[in-house]
Structure 1
Amino acid sequence: MIRFLSRRAATMVVTLLLISALIFFIIKLPPGDFLSNQIAELRSQGDASAAAKADFLIKQYGLDRPGWEQYFVWLGVMPGPNGYSGLLQGDWGWSFEYDRPVKEVVGEALWLTLLLNLATVIFVHVVAIPIAIYSARRQYSVGDYIVTLLGYFGLAMPSFLFALILLYYTNRWFGISIGGLYDSRYAGEPWTLAKIGSLGQHLIVPTLVIGLAGTAAMIRRMRANLLDELGKQYYVTAKAKGLPPTKALLKYPFRMALNPFVADIGNLLPHLVSGSVLVSLVMSLPTVGPILLGALKSQDQFLAGFILMFVAVLTVAGMLVSDLLLAWLDPRIRLGQR
């Protein structure tokens, strides 16, 4: 196990290095950057003093250096100008659009995004797995048809449209706003029990909206996997030997049917971050999705680069977790051993 973890850690480091290079140079592909575009705009307006300040920032953050040198400075393996130390040393850079350090821009949004994603993952699994088991055990029953219909609805309904419908009707029927992750009166306030309680109440609707499509897809896939496993000989033999049906189902077919979902954990976390951007915009959620969209549009390279690296770390860490869970769940899987 230690040797396996060591190999995976080395692979994760190499993977993240390659991803960081791709992220940096893809962001740099379009001509110019935030400051260069700002300088051109200010000079066209005749504002020489502001243009001189932006020109100073370009030199201060080394944006006038060659691309490969800028990458190593951003990564933190080469000393940067004016004490800038790079990602590996905990310096996430400066957001030119917000005129603040990246840490301050994404600070609260980062952990709120993780909290929302964790709540969505728990919701998807807690709701989908029991429904899928019920649907598989009662194939072609009335309940199975109802679950199938709801599954098609969840897959067909765009998340942002569902969010708009909920926003409109909750305000029309109940006179309340479900936007945001806490009441507007708590914006900018320190965290108290009242603010945490407001967060818990406002977390329900975004979790439902973002998790709807994932829940519907998981129900359909889990049902299909279980039906395939329930028709195999080992399950029929287990029941014939007197094992109770529920115990036989949970001990054998259910564990085998879980394998694809455990393997998808690494893809699920970044998908929730990238797939919830429109929902975050519609519901005014203070997550990193809208910040990333704005940073990419304005070519704010330090801000966009850090958020994309954050998603990459989520992906690689999720892959490691899924591998470990698969090894624990399925005894047929051996970690590189014969």
Structure 2
Amino acid sequence: MLKYLLKRFLVMIPTLIVISALVFIIIQLPPGDYLESHIAELESQGESIDPQKIEFLRHEYGLDKPLWEQYLVWITGFVQGDLGYSFEYNLPVAEVIGDKMWLTIIVSFFTILVTWLIAFPIGMYSATHPYSWSDYSLTLVGFLGLATPNFLLALVMLYLANRYFGTSIGGLMDPEFMDQDWSWAKVKSVLEHLWIPVLVIGTSGTAGMIRRLRANLMDELRKPYVVTGRAKGLGETRLLVKYPLRLSMNFFIADIGSLLPSIISGAEVVAVVLSLPTTGPILLAALQSQDMYLAGSFLMFLAALTVVGVLISDILLAMLDPRIRLQGGVQR
């Protein structure tokens, strides 16, 4: 295990270096930079631009340097904990995403929690009662959840929440709490607004998870070791929980690689529709305005979480399923 972990850590370093180079190149692919986009926006509004001021800003932000030098400055600062400076917000990147990071984590955490609490019992019931009317009904609901776009469901929920519950979903809290410190009243306001984005974002994830758990669990229940367990007199509940359910959870663990970055990024399109003050809309705006330090640091953070999440999922899979080995080769 120790040798495997050391090998994976050594592989992670060049992987992140390659990802950082690709991220920087992709951000630089559109023509121009942030200042040119900003100049075009000002000119479209009829404002005049001072060329000397533009040259000063270009030198101040380091945009007049070669691309390789800009990359080295950015990645060196990122390793040292300096995420760079956001041109759009005129603030350090850490300050731009700092306040909204906690709200994103809250939304994603409750979404994952609700998704698992709903998906596990329904998936287990569908797998143990296959092809019954209840299974067909749950399957129909699941397919509807998969087929409904999240942004469309968000628009419908905006109307229903305001029409029948009197809740204005324009963010995650009432406007008077936006710039205030955390208090019990602010927490209550967040909880009042939280159920809409959790329901909208978690719909498709819950439906997909139910289908995968049902398919994996049904496959495990048909295997010989289940028949052997029944022949030895094991109760159905104990037999289900001890072996088939445990082994059918492999895909839950394998999803950790994508789960960690999704906690930070959130659902970008739904966040825009619901006007959520999370980090997803910030990332989209940074990419549109070519705010390279904000967008690049954000994407690198997500890439690092993905690499770490894949490592954690591999280790947990080996602990959960004895059939999985961290080392290759045939064991005798």
What band does the TM-score fall into relative to the shorter chain? over 0.9
Task: Write the deviation string for residues 196-231 of structure 1: whole angstroms up to 9, x where unpaired.
Answer: 232233222211111110110010111011111111
Say if 1:259 and 1:102 are closer, same or farther in 2 by CA, change over 3 A.
same
User: In the alignment, which residue of structure 1 is the partner of 2:180?
Assistant: 189
What is the aligned length? 328
Counterpart in 1 of 2:306?
315
Partner residue of 1:37? Answer: 37
Residues 336/132 of structure 1: CA separation in 2 closer, same or farther (3 Å cut): same
Within-5 A mapping of 1:55-70? 55-70=55-70
Shifted more, 3-12 versus 132-141: the winner is: 3-12
Indicate the residue corresponding to 2:107 in structure 1. 116
CA distance in 1 between partners of 2:141 and 2:162 (Å): 25
Aligned partner of 1:47: which letter?
S
Question: Is 28-37 or 236-245 further displaced after alignment?
Answer: 28-37
Q: CA deviation at 1:270?
A: 3.5
Partner residue in 2 for 1:133: 124
Amino acid at match of 2:31: P
> Residues of 2 paired with 1:285 and 1:256: CA distance?
37
Q: Secondary structure at the match of 2:249?
A: helix
Asked whether the equivalents of residues 288 and 307 of structure 1 are also in contact (C-alpha less than 8 Å), the reply is: no
Query: Is this contact kept in 1: 2:108–2:266, CA < 8 A?
Result: no
- Determine the C-alpha separation between the residues in 2 that align with 1:249 and 1:42: 65
In 2, Cα distance between equivalents of 1:179 and 1:321: 36
Aligned equivalent of 1:80: none
For 2:48, the equivalent position in structure 1 comes to 47
Residues 210-289 of structure 1: matches in 2 within 5 Å? 210-271=201-262, 276-289=267-280
Which deviates further from its counterpart, 147-156 or 60-69? 60-69
Distance in 2, matches of 1:104 and 1:151, equals: 40
Which AA in structure 1 matches 2:89? Y
Q: Distance in 2 between matches of 1:170 and 1:258?
A: 35
Q: How does 1:320-331 map to 2 (within 5 A)?
A: 320-331=311-322
Q: How does 1:164-179 map to 2 (within 5 A)?
A: 164-179=155-170
Percent of residue pairs identical: 55
| More moved, 93-102 vs 288-297 | 93-102
1:95: which partner in 2?
86
After TM superposition, the structure 1 stretch with the greater mean CA deviation from structure 2, 24-33 or 103-112, is 103-112
Q: Is the 8 A contact 1:117 1:269 kept in 2?
A: no
Contact 2:266–2:278 (CA under 8 A) maintained in structure 1: no
Q: For residue 48 of structure 1, report the CA deviation from its aligned partner.
A: 4.6
Q: d(CA) in 1 for partners of 2:180 and 2:288? A: 30
Q: Does 1:292 align with 2:283?
A: yes
Letter in 1 for 2:174: D
Structure 2: distance between partners of 1:63 and 1:174: 50
Mean alpha-carbon deviation: is it higher for 6-15 or for 86-95? 6-15
Deviations 1:6-56 (A, max 9, x none): 22222222221111110001111111101133346668967354x433322
Q: Which residue of 1 aligns with 2:13?
A: 13
8 Å Cα contact 2:108/2:262 also seen in 1: no
Measure, in 2, the Cα distance between the counterparts of 1:206 and 1:317. Answer: 27
One-letter identity of the residue aligned with 2:57: L
Letter in 1 for 2:201: I
Answer yes or no: is the 8 Å Cα contact 2:318–2:324 preserved in 1. yes
Whichever residue aligns with residue 261 of structure 1, its letter is: F
Output the TM-score relative to the length of structure 2.
Answer: 0.92
Shift of 1:329: 0.6
Which whole-Å CA distance do the structure 2 matches of 1:243 and 1:181 have between them? 49
Indicate conservation of the 8 Å contact 1:38/1:54, yes or no: no
Whole-angstrom CA distance in 1 between matches of 2:41 and 2:156: 40
Q: Distance in 1 between matches of 2:237 and 2:148?
A: 34
1:272 Cα offset (Å)? 6.3
Letter in 2 for 1:170: A
Distance 2:169 2:41 in 1: 39
**AA partner of residue 14 (structure 2):** V
Higher mean C-alpha deviation, range 21-30 or range 323-332: 323-332
**Higher RCO, Cα 8 Å, sep 6+:** 2
Indicate the residue corresponding to 1:143 in structure 2. Answer: 134
Distance in 2 (CA, whole Å) between partners of 1:43 and 1:167 is: 36
**Cα distance in 1 for residues equivalent to 2:146 and 2:324:** 32
Q: The residue matched to 1:19 in structure 2 has which SS?
A: helix
Shift of 1:127: 1.3
Where does structure 2 lack aligned partners over 5 or more consecutive residues? none
* Structure 1 residues without counterparts, runs of 5 or longer: 77-85
